[in-house]
Structure 1
Amino acid sequence: MAPDTTPRLRLRLRLPDGRAADVVPACGVLLLGAVWGSAPLIREPAEPWPVTVLGWLLTAAVCGALYVRRRYPVAVTVFVATATAVYYVTSTYDGPLVVAVIISLYSVAAEGRLQAALALAAVVVIGVGIGVLAGSNDMNSVALFMLTGWLVAVLALGTMRHRRFAFAEEAARRRATEERLRIARELHDVIGHRISLINVQAGASLHRLAKHPGEAEEALATIKQSSREALRELRATLGVLRQVDEAAPTQPAPGLARLDELVVSARPTGLEVRVHSRGGAGPLPAAVDLAAFRIVQEALTNVTRHADGATSVDVRLEFGERELALAVEDDGKATGALDRRAAGQGSTGGSGIAGMRERAAMLGGELAAGPGPHGGFAVTARIPYENR
């Protein structure tokens, strides 16, 4: 049986927003007031003309107050309730101003002022109840019960709307915070590695400048190359952040395919970096590929910054069926610097290892850092592929 492809009309009730949310209720109540207020013009007036004119003025004032109810919800509700009470006490005609009271109470609840809304609704119910006990012809016990139900429903709707918007705002703030953390982590990984290499090479060139000017010149050339790469990666990262509707970036995203760049950049520091890979290195999910690259990058940065006497680093990659396992082990000495690295200090004195743990945890993985099995320091991580 062929699927039904006939377009279906979907009706969705949407409340007005913006200026329309101020204009529509005010004009609606004004229209209702005009219909009820035209009764003396059509048939014999049931009350003196000054009282009728007062009712018209009260209706106009209530409608004007409704226009600013979202800015001053409590004050507007007090005014509307008071003007409505005066109208029903003085006028013979049963006007529609009770609708204005309901709308204003809804606005108070929708702004999150639930206690004030409950207090005002109680005053309205008590006031109407007094009128019923006084023998009002316009209200009776059944009408009072129905009005109470309407007010409870309106307050519930207003509270639900407030909570829904509060939840949406909180979710937006949480997404913004996560995005700021992601950007900060990405910039730290991009800049920290290169600046660390520049710092190490600058110290080496100063040490060798007098006795070995040739080696110092080589170190300065490495500094120049590292700074150029740092600027290039920074521009690429900032370019991605600036893009909204522009074309996709032309630079490839960092991944394990660029691991050789990290190996080459570490050589001028005197480190021998060996990469060991096992398993089928098929296409990785982009998030896993980026996280693995950044973890290796930060681990190598920590070796150049903090490892005491390290001369070699082994990077081990194992591509399993469901997860990627990696390890970065150096042959440094277990000194105070090793303790600082295990405590989580990164290339800029910040939270390098903590940042690596965050990257792994965000993808459902885990990361450990501490003394290696053969001395030195080891960073090990497991990152699942998720839906590969």
Structure 2
Amino acid sequence: MRARTLGGANPWAVDIGLALLVQAAMTMPFVVPRAPDLPPATWAAYGLTSLTVLPLVWRRRAPFTVLLAVMAASALYELALDGPGQPLPYTGLVVVYTIAALCPARVRLGTAALLAVAVPVSVWLNTRSARELTFSLFVFGAAYALGRLTDARQRAARVEAERAAARERARIAREMHDILSHAVSLMVVQAEAGPLAVRRAPEKAEAAFDAISETGRDAMAQLREMLGVLRDGEDPAPRAPQPGLDALPELLARVRAGGLDVAYETAGEVRSVPPALGATVHRIVQEALTNVVKHAAAATATVRLARAPGRLTVTVTDDGRGPRGGASGGHGLVGLRERAAAHGGTAAAGAGPGGRGFEVRAEFPLDEGAGVRG
């Protein structure tokens, strides 16, 4: 939380605070006791020292101009006044770091050329010693290197944030596809069967309309949950967990209400899987059954979950017309593969057993030591 607060602070406030900190450091030689043989700490010298610090407030808006202003004020201090010196060129180091972190290559190159002349000249005006020259080149080089490292870290953070946003968009797209495609497909099938049922079996028509209403309400509830996540500036409200394996019977009941006879088979202890995997299995079964309803012209389908040591297998088969054109490349199957891959698993689709019907098959590795009810 603290890092987030500092990262989102007003840049002006940060730069003013930094300038005040540098001013405090440069004030030290003026307030500590001085030997009688050293130059006096005058108000004029202190005022000009402060003038070298003031441009730091604009360091992010015009860093190269600020560097020129700092160098000009520092040169004036060296040439016109004989005041207390500073143990480090604080203002120059801050501006060089800023240029290295924020400016394009041409500005950085110009800064390096300028410093290659200014640093030796400054040393010549001060002590003319190789020791000071070496130290000055080292500290300015270190400030530049730190700025480049900061830029690299920020770039990496932006790339990771963009990747995370892309993953989240893909996840939301899959959820929206699964919810809407499943609900709309069932509602269309039930609505098309409604008029025929009204004429031949009114009691079935009432059940079909009830199923349409229930499917629509369920889809709206899930969409509200998802849209709540996307709202900005609102406190997160408590949300229901994603449907998992416990919700499969309800899902199959809705599909049966649409006229498809769905069988449900299990082998092994399939319920004790992590909740996230359970939610993925639920969505895979939902998408597979949606495709059966929309494309297969099937009378029956079978959902089978089988758990073997270290593995969970999910298959959805139907007795419909077999592989459909584009089935291997549609958004639905792409979403299934992405969901499976997120858990280290695989998903595939093709002709059913014996070449009859259609089958969706997904396999997931299981950590047998992490069995949790899903």
Tell me the residue number matched to 1:370.
350
Tell me the residue number matched to 2:363.
382
1: distance between equivalents of 2:176 and 2:236?
22
| Unpaired segments ≥5 residues, structure 2 | 1-5
CA offsets, 1:163-203, max 9 Å, x none?
A: 22332333233323322322332233233212210011122
Q: How much has 1:379 moved relative to structure 2? A: 0.3
Residue 339, structure 1, aligned to residue 325, structure 2: yes
CA offsets, 1:205-234, max 9 Å, x none?
A: 245556766654443232122222223333
1: distance between equivalents of 2:362 and 2:91?
63
In structure 2, the CA distance between the partners of 1:122 and 1:142, relative to structure 1 (3 Å rule), is farther
SS at 2:53 equivalent: helix
Tell me the residue number matched to 2:308.
320
Q: How much has 1:278 moved relative to structure 2? A: 1.2
Residue 82, structure 1, aligned to residue 72, structure 2: yes
Q: How much has 1:263 moved relative to structure 2? A: 2.0
2: distance between equivalents of 1:298 and 1:46?
83
Residue 105, structure 1, aligned to residue 93, structure 2: no
Tell me the residue number matched to 1:156.
145
1: distance between equivalents of 2:261 and 2:26?
87
Tell me the residue number matched to 1:27.
20
SS at 1:333 equivalent: coil
Using structure 1 for the length normalisation, give the TM-score: 0.79
Of residues 90-99 and 318-327 in structure 1, the stretch that sits farther from structure 2 once superposed is 90-99
Contact 2:305 2:313 in 1 (8 A): yes
Q: How much has 1:79 moved relative to structure 2? A: 1.7
Residue 280, structure 1, aligned to residue 269, structure 2: yes
Q: What are the equivalent positions in structure 2 for 1:195-210 lying under 5 Å apart?
A: 195-206=184-195
Residue 147, structure 1, aligned to residue 136, structure 2: yes
Q: How much has 1:366 moved relative to structure 2? A: 0.2
Contact 1:318 1:324 in 2 (8 A): yes
SS at 2:99 equivalent: helix
Tell me the residue number matched to 2:172.
183
2: distance between equivalents of 1:27 and 1:95?
19
Contact 2:99 2:108 in 1 (8 A): yes
The runs of at least 4 aligned residues of structure 1 exceeding 6 Å deviation read 41-47, 240-243
2: distance between equivalents of 1:334 and 1:282?
30
Contact 2:321 2:357 in 1 (8 A): yes
Residue 355, structure 1, aligned to residue 340, structure 2: no
2: distance between equivalents of 1:119 and 1:36?
32
2: distance between equivalents of 1:284 and 1:274?
21
Q: How much has 1:92 moved relative to structure 2? A: 3.3
Tell me the residue number matched to 1:70.
60
2: distance between equivalents of 1:298 and 1:128?
68
Contact 1:80 1:100 in 2 (8 A): yes
Q: How much has 1:264 moved relative to structure 2? A: 1.4
2: distance between equivalents of 1:169 and 1:137?
43
2: distance between equivalents of 1:30 and 1:233?
57
Tell me the residue number matched to 2:3.
none
Q: What are the equivalent positions in structure 2 for 1:136-285 lying under 5 Å apart?
A: 136-206=125-195, 215-238=204-227, 247=238, 249=239, 251=240, 253-285=242-274
Letter in 2 for 1:173: E
| Unpaired segments ≥5 residues, structure 1 | 1-13, 345-350
Identity level (%): 34
Contact 1:108 1:116 in 2 (8 A): yes
Q: How much has 1:258 moved relative to structure 2? A: 1.9
SS at 2:61 equivalent: coil
What RMSD in Å do the two structures reach over aligned CA positions? Answer: 3.4
Of residues 149-158 and 326-335 in structure 1, the stretch that sits farther from structure 2 once superposed is 326-335
In structure 2, the CA distance between the partners of 1:261 and 1:150, relative to structure 1 (3 Å rule), is same
Contact 1:112 1:159 in 2 (8 A): no
Contact 2:245 2:278 in 1 (8 A): yes
Tell me the residue number matched to 1:347.
none
In structure 2, the CA distance between the partners of 1:362 and 1:31, relative to structure 1 (3 Å rule), is closer
Tell me the residue number matched to 1:348.
none
In structure 2, the CA distance between the partners of 1:173 and 1:181, relative to structure 1 (3 Å rule), is same
Of residues 63-72 and 121-130 in structure 1, the stretch that sits farther from structure 2 once superposed is 121-130
SS at 1:341 equivalent: coil
Q: How much has 1:363 moved relative to structure 2? A: 0.2
Contact 1:81 1:124 in 2 (8 A): no
Q: How much has 1:69 moved relative to structure 2? A: 1.2
In structure 2, the CA distance between the partners of 1:87 and 1:312, relative to structure 1 (3 Å rule), is same
2: distance between equivalents of 1:298 and 1:274?
16
Residue 311, structure 1, aligned to residue 299, structure 2: yes
Q: How much has 1:73 moved relative to structure 2? A: 2.1
